[in-house]
Every structure is written in structure tokens, then in C-alpha cells.
Structure 1
Amino acid sequence: MSTQMIAAPAPGVFWQRPGPDAEPFLSPGQEVRIGQTIGIIEIMKMFVEVHADRDGIVKRYVIDNGQSIPMGASLVELEGA
């Protein structure tokens, strides 16, 4: 099965969860569809949702929750994309 990465559209701090006590947007094995929210990037106290740009099955988050990232960093690995 082929794997593809969803990349960061902007630099900032990547959050896998909508809030500190919330569940992650995605879990391994979960199906994801184009347009679905996969995380949030915090840029200078502004929060930008990151959406899936393809369909697939979540293999894993590549970036840890709260990690600083550059634009174009791989965020989520999808199978069958």
C-alpha cells in the first residue's frame, strides 16, 4: 500500500488536538477525507486549521503535539492515499 504525507501549509506550532484536554483530531487506523481537519497551526497567537488534501487511512502523526514546524513539514502519514 502506498503512503503519502500531509504537509504544513505554514510555519508555526502544530497542535494535534483542538484543546489541551481534548482527543486528537486523528487516530491511527482512522479514515480521513479531503477537507477534514487534521490539526491546528498556531502562528503568532492566531490558530489556522490544517485540512487533509487527500483521502486515506491515518498511519501516524509525524510531528509531536506542540512542536515548532517549518512550512512544508510532514504532519500526518496516510496509507492508500
Structure 2
Amino acid sequence: MPTIPSPLPGVFYRRPSPDQDTYVSEGDQITEGQTIGLIEVMKNFTELKATAAGTVTEFLVDDESEVSVGQDVAVLE
């Protein structure tokens, strides 16, 4: 199954801000290039975009958890 890896190290966020809904949830259909979260590095936020289209079956990283370069964040079906 395809995965979506983190392009850089930082903190993974599933929502654009604490008072907004998540970008996507498990079970959602997504398209290639769709934003699924943010990676924050030293107060700079970079969108994490889907590398393929499919259904998000699982997030491998909790919201507000640290990720490293190449670490898989989500699994697609």
C-alpha cells in the first residue's frame, strides 16, 4: 500500500489551526497533491501533500507528534 512520507523533520499537525477541523480523516478519499497536514519547523509551516490518490486508511503519526525526514505519516489504499 502506498504511504505519504514527511519531506522534512518537524512537528506534524492534522489541522490548519487548533480551532479548525482536520484536513482529512481516516476513510476520506483524497487526490494526489491534496494537503493532508502541516509540518512545522521553527515556526515555519509547510503543507504535507498526498503523493498519490486513494483512501486514507490510517495515520501512522499522532497529531502534534515529531516526524523525521522520510517517516511515513499516512497509509493509502
Q: Which TM-score tier does this pair reach, normalised by the shorter chain?
A: over 0.9
Match in the other structure for 1:14: 12
Runs of 4+ that moved beyond 6 A: none
List aligned pairs for 1:15-34, cutoff 5 A. Answer: 15-34=13-32
Any gaps of 5 or more consecutive residues in structure 1?
Answer: none
Amino-acid identity (%): 39
* Aligned-CA RMSD value: 0.8
Match in the other structure for 2:42: 44
TM (norm. structure 1) is: 0.90
Match in the other structure for 1:69: 67
Any gaps of 5 or more consecutive residues in structure 2?
Answer: none
| One-letter amino acid of the counterpart of residue 66, structure 1 | E
TM (norm. structure 2) is: 0.95
1:22, CA displacement in angstroms? Answer: 1.4
CA distance in 1, matches of 2:49, 2:26: 17
Counting matched residue pairs gives 77
> Does the residue aligned with 2:2 lie in a helix, a strand or coil?
strand
